[in-house]
Structure 1
Amino acid sequence: MGREEKTPAEIRTTDKLKIQKILGEAGYIVEMGNGSVPTVVCKKREDMSKDLAAIRKILKEQRYEGSFGVRAPRKTDEIQVSESEETSEMMDDMVAAAG
């Protein structure tokens, strides 16, 4: 029995979601980009080439042959992280004051 070959047009959404979950469990930040392409957001621009090699290895192990992306963080990504950290700190302060 040969391995089932899929062309990029035949990659299903469930395959993409499975890869998104696997990469997320591996510690990567994954978003579904334009056209529902799983895109890994690297923590630092300098890490992109190292992360790309590791991501390709994971995708090869999973026999995923669809499209994927890797991008550097945007300034807006950093703002969202900072805002979520501030919100978390504010919630902790509120709980401590109430308790």
Structure 2
Amino acid sequence: MQIILSGTGDAPELADADNFKDFRVVAQGAPDAAALAAATTEIGRSDGAEHVFVTVPALSRMAGARAEDATWRADLEGMLDVAQKHGWVDAQGAVRAHVEWRP
């Protein structure tokens, strides 16, 4: 599951929505904490230039109709359980994603 940030101001998009073992944000350009913060306000919050805490409602919204599927929801809950065990979920329930910067 990848959240794609276009770098053009478009809304973040969810790609590979059924892959719960590869959760990350893909951003365009050189690492830039301020740009990342601006680009992620509607899905959660950035933590510097290397991580984004993504809210579960934002994931569901980006998944569209997939979020209504019981199997998809169960797989999401499984991913969140693993993230919780590793300390990758904040006090508000948002899950941490690593940011991959691409030129």
**Normalization by structure 2: what TM-score?**
0.30
**Larger relative contact order (Cα-Cα within 8 Å, sequence gap ≥ 6):** 2
Higher alpha-carbon Rg: 1
Query: 1 or 2, which has the higher helix percentage?
Result: 1
